[in-house]
Amino acid sequence: MNNQTSLRDWGKTGSPSSFQLEDGGSNPPSRIELELVENATHKFNFDQIVKNYHTYKPNTKMVGRRIDWLIKVDGSYIGAIGVGSSIMAIKPRDDFIGWNKEQRLKNLVKTCTNWRYCLTKKTKLSSRILKMFLKEARKEWKKKYGVNLVLIETLVEPPYEGTCYKANGWILVGKTKGLQFEWKNKDDVLPTDKVAQKFMKFGDVKNEDMWKVVVGTTKPKLIFVKPLHRYWKKELMEGGKK
């Protein structure tokens, strides 16, 4: 059985407690580092990890805001993780937050999507990695985009159950409907500010000037969210019509 098969089986059957344990005995704790993807070498390594160990979704292209990290344990790369622009409208998440359309358009930039998290091998450090990731995501999002990050979302495709997210306190809020939204012109990768301008203008991902909707091409996915501080709801409900 190769590493990829082992990782897949582990992702399907692991229990939350298994992510929180480390090797006992006299072994010192493993040293975890998140290395920001900042140059061509970093990007190449990130893409290779995703293509080889996240084969059910190997594409690393993404429109909009994006920050990625390589995961290192004791000096060796063992995975890739990243955040990007949040999904424009997704009912279970929006119902959980409780915001209206105007509030969502104003405050969506305070949220992001954990668009990728994959590991090259089975490890008991996943919960520790996510904990470190949350701190780094808040810091780098503020540094790069000048916005305080309030909530992170992620989508998990069954048969995976999001075990590591549950262990880290993420909240399951529902499932997607299995719709896939794509740019009409896939080659038209717009700068972040123009993407945001179009979102604000149209306010709906189903607008035909921006998107086409492909029905039944993806499996429904589990939606997890992670509020990042105590007053997250107050921040996301600011502005807009009451």
For residue 17, is it within any domain?
A: yes
Residue 12's domain comprises 3-236
Q: Is pLDDT at 51 greater than 60 in this prediction?
A: yes
Tokens of 89: 């409208």
Average pLDDT, stretch 140-147? 96
Rounded distance, CA 183 to CA 198, Å?
Answer: 12
Q: Report the CATH number at residue 209.
A: 3.40.630.30
Other CB atoms closer than 10 Å to residue 156's CB: what's the count?
A: 22
In the 8-state DSSP scheme, what is residue 230? T
The domain total for the chain is 1
pLDDT tens string 155-180: 998 888 999 999 999 999 999 886 55
Are 176 and 90 in contact by the 8 Å Cβ rule? The answer is yes
Q: What's the burial of 80, exposed, middle or buried (CB within 10 Å: 0-12/13-18/19+)?
A: buried
Residue 241: which pLDDT band, with cuts at 50, 70 and 90? low
Residue 242 lies in a domain: no
Please say if the pLDDT value at position 23 is more than 90: no
Phi then psi dihedrals of residue 203, to 5 deg? 65, 15
| Res 33 pLDDT > 90 | yes
CA distance 102 to 112: 18
Residue 226, SS3 per DSSP? strand
Q: Are 223 and 91 in contact (CB under 8 A)?
A: no
State the pTM of this model.
Answer: 0.75
What is the per-residue pLDDT across 92-117, written as a single tens digit (0 to 9) for each?
999 999 999 999 999 999 999 999 99
The H or E element that residue 180 is part of is strand 179-183
CA distance 197 to 187: 19
Summarize the confidence of residues 187-198 as an average pLDDT: 43
| Domain assignment of residue 241, yes or no | no
Residue 179's DSSP bridge partners are: 215
Across 34-49, average pLDDT: 96
Signed CA dihedral, 190, 193, 194, 195: sign only:
positive
- Bridge pairing between strands 111-119 and 151-156: parallel
Peptide bond into 29 cis (omega under 30): no
Give me the percent of the chain exceeding a pLDDT of 70: 70
Say what the pLDDT of residue 183 is. 47
Residue 5 has pLDDT above 60, yes or no: no
Q: Three-class SS of residue 18?
A: helix
Q: Reply yes or no on whether the pLDDT at 15 is more than 80.
A: no
Q: Angle at Cα 80 formed by Cα 83 and Cα 47, nearest 5°?
A: 95
Residue length of the chain: 242
Q: What is the mean pLDDT of residues 127-146?
A: 96
Quick one: tokens of 18? 């298994």
The per-residue pLDDT for 27 is 63
